[in-house]
Structure 1
Amino acid sequence: MSLRTLFHPELSHDGTSKRPFFEGWYCKMVTSRGEMLAIISGYFKGKNSSEDHAFIQVYDTLREKSAFIRYPAEAYRASRETLDIEIAGSRFSSRGISLNIDATDDQGLPWKLAGEVRFSQLRPWSRGFLAPNAMGWYSFVPFMECSHAVLSFDHRLEGKIADNVTGRTYEFSGGRGYIEKDWGSSFPSDYLWLQGNRFAQNPGASIFLSIATIPWLGSTFPGHIGGLWLGDKRAEFHLFAKYNGSSILSLHADERKVLAVLHRGRHILRISAHRDRAVPLSAPYHGSMQTKILESAGTAVEVELLALPSSVPSRAILKDRRLFKSLCEIHAEQDWASILAASGLGTELVFRDTTTAACLETVGDLSRLSAHS
């Protein structure tokens, strides 16, 4: 860990001597019609140098397929001053993405993607000295298994990408984008992750949630980070994370849906996600890139942010945790604000909207995550 990458998590760690080690930038682009193309660029260092390689991973909703394209390690080049990565003629930066892919994936299928998309009006994660990225003070812990950074909650897109195998083209002008990054030695054994920023009523709004089993000094603990950006008009950010005193009031997660309710201070965040189709993506797990995770891009995510009145002590929420858990599970599809009002806890509705073309990943034993709620 260096000060350069600690306070600028978008930069590459490619000079590290750690093994195994991975680093990947997740660039999601959604057209105005809801079609999605996600590009994951990065590199992997195995236990032995013979396993080292660069990669570009593609999730294409027009083809309803994913691809893992492996390149020699020396094909990876990165700037030390800014987010600017090149892999075999394709380039990824904070200004945009330029694809020049003409290769076969690990299944032997051909991929030919070419074009350029420019990014503007990026909404980065707010940084501070004690919280340089989404990990908060955990950013300073050198032995974290996996670190995470949100580089842009939402931004505008301009340009297009052509698929020269199918003859179809992604027209991204007027669409929305999202960028995040992961790095470390391994993905968590159990986790869920979701993200969406195509809200019907609130342009520019973005939701992000990650809940995982975190190894810690010979044991584990459940960690969570959730963020809701209210959009272009209100420009408010609400953070729900273990390191800032947030708690999970209720969590139900399985292969088809996720219902999570988080609490911090006077705010309650309710997230309900229903997944559609899913495709496999390769992920690093304890020294290998062979692990497959399922990501769904056809997910609808309903989001509610409620504010409790000042007359309700914040501790009353935790005291009535069992009641809240029951309400969440029994009335999952109902107007939750009305249910809380009927129970004597009046609320103000701060935000309610649904994002489509959202992404959802669920990995491992989800019952372990739910058991901690």
Structure 2
Amino acid sequence: MNFFRSADRPYFEGWYFKHQTPQRQTLALIPAFHIDGGGRPAASLQVISNDKSWWLEYPAEQLQVSRKPFQIQLGQSRFGTQGIDLHIQEKGLSLQGALRYGPFTALRSDIMGPFRFFAGMQCSHGVISMGHALGGTLELNEAPLDFYGGIGYIETDRGRSFPSKYLWTQCVWGGPERGSLMLAIATIPLPAGGFTGCICSVFYGGREYRLATYRGVKIEAWSPAAAVIRQGKYRLEAKLLCERRQALRAPVEGRMERTIHESLCAEVRYRFWRGKDLLFQHTDPNASFEYSPAG
């Protein structure tokens, strides 16, 4: 699919592929396309490791996207429901190899709920897989990464710009009490005012718990290092304990001009209550955490 032939307004769309090894090595990839206010298209790939990030630019014609089946071709690399196949050789970055994905854990419904129908939304979020098994190996600058027995996560964003102020955290873990969660809080501008919105999905014990503004969630607190939300008898707390931030680029009216900072491998403690019962407490060194103040 060619996104660029009829562009008449700023737009971006990107996909976030996160991969974790059992040895706590993590790699995320963000293929994306963007169209500025002048209708000029471009494509990009951001690569994030435990301790470094890279930004790669591509001509727009080197990007092809299929919705069904979901597949992205960017340069010589492919991303899709079956896995990824990478052939990247740039100055300062060599990334080669292939990973295969197990079945995706999909949400029951769109995480945006009725917000997906708001034409004026600055940015819309999507979750493609809350967790899936990994197999295969990659070589990052001649260092091997073994993802056999690992776990992955995929989400997407699209719109004109990232919110001016937002918090995002994500975590997926295996073992006997496996689980996954994604939480995002952001200021949402609208033509007539705006509001602070929240979307959250928690997978635990074989079921999904959905907490969101459109379901009556209350944001009790959010800051650069923590968030607390409550919906009825459910309460989720996320607390950042340690972070290693990497600089990334984010869209402003379709242009990738904003610098944000994400901790791909942050240590975050999550606690989730149902009434007075603590359903789980999980502290993970491979959690992702990002907070961007209004600027």
The bucket for the TM-score relative to the shorter chain is: over 0.9
Aligned mate of 1:26, from 16, 25, 49: 16
1:104-148 deviation digits (Å, cap 9, x = unpaired): 3xxxxx211110001102101212xxxxx1110011112211000
Aligned mate of 1:242, from 207, 213, 218: 213
How is 1:255-294 mapped onto 2 (pairs within 5 angstroms)? 257-258=225-226, 260-294=227-261
Unpaired runs of 5+ residues, structure 1, are 1-10, 105-109, 128-132, 309-346, 367-373
How is 1:323-334 mapped onto 2 (pairs within 5 angstroms)? none
TM-score normalised by the chain length of structure 2: 0.94
Specify whether residues 264 and 212 from structure 1 end up closer, same or farther in structure 2 by C-alpha distance, changes over 3 A only: same
User: Which protein has the larger Cα radius of gyration, Structure 1 or Structure 2?
Assistant: 1
Equivalent pair of 1:200/1:354 in contact (CA under 8 Å): no
How is 1:38-187 mapped onto 2 (pairs within 5 angstroms)? 38-49=28-39, 51-61=40-50, 64-104=51-91, 110-127=92-109, 133-163=110-140, 165=141, 167-187=142-162
1:327-372 deviation digits (Å, cap 9, x = unpaired): xxxxxxxxxxxxxxxxxxxx12222222221111111239xxxxxx
Specify whether residues 14 and 307 from structure 1 end up closer, same or farther in structure 2 by C-alpha distance, changes over 3 A only: farther
Asked whether 1:357 is paired with 2:286, we answer yes
Q: CA separation in 2, counterparts of 1:16 and 1:173?
A: 42
SS in 2 for 1:33: coil
Correspondence for 1:221: 195
Equivalent pair of 2:151/2:174 in contact (CA under 8 Å): no
1:185-215 deviation digits (Å, cap 9, x = unpaired): 1111111111111367622x11211111101
Equivalent pair of 1:12/1:80 in contact (CA under 8 Å): no
Q: CA separation in 1, counterparts of 2:93 and 2:120?
A: 37
Count of aligned pairs: 295
Equivalent pair of 1:306/1:349 in contact (CA under 8 Å): yes
Q: CA separation in 1, counterparts of 2:258 and 2:55?
A: 12
Correspondence for 2:186: 212
Q: Give the superposition deviation at 1:17.
A: 2.9
> Bigger shift: 280-289 or 22-31?
280-289
Q: What is the identity, as a one-letter code, of the residue corresponding to 1:172?
A: F
Q: Give the superposition deviation at 1:48.
A: 1.9
Higher helix share: 1
Unpaired runs of 5+ residues, structure 2, are none
Higher strand share: 2
Q: CA separation in 2, counterparts of 1:206 and 1:356?
A: 14
TM-score normalised by the chain length of structure 1: 0.75
Q: Give the superposition deviation at 1:261.
A: 1.8
Correspondence for 1:348: 277
Aligned-residue identity in percent? 33
